[in-house]
């Protein structure tokens, strides 16, 4: 299921509860596709830098070569917020009258701590990566544990609405400025009231602000469209055959569905081997089956791939290749 899904779609997201194997499974899928001749970009949105640990090297926000045909990058939410705010701040400083620099700084400081800021900044980076991935046939996202990812998927729509609101407010302000400008002969009175520069610059500035907001809105709208396009992108939930991961996966699938994103595949990782179990392990295996029946009742319509628990850790490119061999089964 994993390989056929990865060859049909251009963008895959891997999500799920902590520690179930998102990084391992997404990396092994990315490597297998690169080995099959695709140009693949593997992107982690998890602050814990698991990709670097798995591949045994430093990976940053710029793509680095991990294996032939496979590049990787790690997006750090905090750093993403910082660079995002710096961009916004310098754009605002350029566009706002000089006297308002203090206001801009205050606004930026408040924004840094605002709820959803990290997600919004991260989403903008994800949108950028998805927009500019012409060098790759496939982009695979290894995401941070569950709740975060579902919120992220809902965000493009929220962000579009939010940006739309800002644009409308700007338009109202434009009209207000125009009215003030026509009042009386002394145009500087109206302009001074708004703390603005002379009118000729106003129009220029307003249209720049609007252009920036529109570009942002367009970027979120594009991402949303791509997330909803099942020929283009897909969401894979990774889980273990245990009670809580099963319950959380069912909940995650529901949340995603509410945002319009259909789950393309389920990966049940760390399954006990099918043969040769006795005593304690045989009981454990029976328990797995009970949990998977629950999964089946709720999400039986989604394609599923089971992966076996390895005796050893999966670490580095060779282990990942060995791990990926079971994808073909």
Ligand X SMILES: Nc1ncnc2c1ncn2[C@@H]1O[C@H](COP(=O)(O)OP(=O)(O)OP(=O)(O)O)[C@@H](O)[C@H]1O
Task: Report which DSSP code applies to 60.
Answer: -
Considering only residues 67, 314, 320, 324, which one is a binding residue for ligand X as defined by CB under 6 A?
A: 314
Q: Which of residues 50-69 bind Mg ion (CB under 5 A)?
A: 50
Phi/psi region, residue 82 (left: phi>0; alpha: psi -120 to 50; beta: rest), is: alpha
> What does 309 interact with, of Mg ion, ligand X, none (CB < 5 to 8 A by kind)?
ligand X
The answer to the question of residue 270 lying near ligand X (CB under 6 A) is yes
Query: Which residues contact residue 144 at a Cβ distance below 8 angstroms, ignoring those fewer than 6 apart?
Result: 45, 46, 47, 48
Q: Which of residues 5-44 bind Mg ion (CB under 5 A)?
A: 22-23
Considering only residues 22, 84, 125, 224, which one is a binding residue for ligand X as defined by CB under 6 A?
A: 22
Tell me the closest approach of the beta carbon of residue 47 to Mg ion, in angstroms: 10
In the beta sheet, which residues pair with residue 70? 40, 67
Residue closer to ligand X by CB (options 23, 163) is 23
Q: Which residue has the tokens 């500087």?
A: 188
Q: What CA–CA distances, in Å, run from 186 to 138, 181, 182, 192, 198?
A: 60, 9, 9, 10, 12
Binding flags for ligand X, 153-182, as an x/- string (CB under 6 A): ------------------------------
Cα first-last separation, the chain: 9
Piece of the chain touching ligand X by CB under 6 A; list 82-90, 196-204, 227-235, 305-313: 305-313
The answer to the question of residue 37 lying near ligand X (CB under 6 A) is no
Q: What CA–CA distances, in Å, run from 100 to 80, 200, 233?
A: 25, 19, 43
Residues that bind ligand X (CB under 6 A): 18-24, 46, 48, 50, 145, 269-270, 307, 309-310, 313-314
Residues that bind Mg ion (CB under 5 A): 22-23, 50
């Amino acid at each position: 299921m994993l390989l056929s899904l990865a060859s049909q779609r251009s963008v895959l997201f891997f999500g799920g509860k902590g520690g179930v194997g998102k990084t391992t499974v997404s990396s092994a899928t990315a490597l297998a596709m690169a080995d099959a001749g695709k140009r693949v970009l593997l992107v982690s949105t998890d602050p814990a830098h698991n990709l670097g640990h798995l591949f045994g090297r430093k990976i940053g926000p710029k793509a680095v070569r991990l294996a032939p045909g496979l590049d990787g990058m790690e997006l750090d939410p905090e750093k993403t917020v910082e660079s995002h705010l710096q961009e916004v701040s310098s754009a605002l400083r350029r566009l706002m009258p000089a006297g308002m620099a203090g206001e801009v700084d205050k606004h930026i400081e408040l924004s840094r701590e605002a709820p959803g800021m990290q997600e919004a900044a991260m989403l903008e980076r994800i949108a950028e990566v998805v927009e500019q991935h012409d060098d790759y046939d496939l982009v695979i996202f290894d995401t941070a544990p569950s709740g975060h990812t579902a919120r992220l998927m809902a965000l493009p729509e929220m962000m579009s609405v939010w940006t739309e609101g800002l644009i409308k407010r700007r338009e109202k302000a434009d009209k207000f400025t125009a009215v003030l400008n026509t009042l009386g002969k002394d145009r500087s009175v109206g302009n001074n009231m708004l703390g603005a520069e002379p009118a000729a610059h106003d129009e220029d500035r307003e249209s720049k602000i609007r252009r920036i907001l529109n570009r942002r809105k367009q970027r979120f709208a594009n991402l949303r469209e791509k997330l909803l396009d099942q020929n283009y992108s897909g969401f894979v939930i990774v889980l273990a055959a245990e009670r809580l991961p099963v319950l959380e996966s069912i909940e995650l699938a529901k949340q995603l569905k509410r945002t319009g994103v259909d789950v393309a595949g389920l990966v049940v990782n760390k399954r006990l081997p099918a043969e040769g179990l006795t005593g304690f392990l045989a009981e454990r295996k029976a328990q797995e089956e009970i949990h998977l029946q629950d999964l089946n009742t709720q999400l039986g319509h989604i394609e599923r791939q089971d992966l076996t628990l390895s005796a050893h850790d999966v670490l580095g490119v060779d282990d990942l290749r060995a791990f990926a061999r079971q994808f073909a089964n």
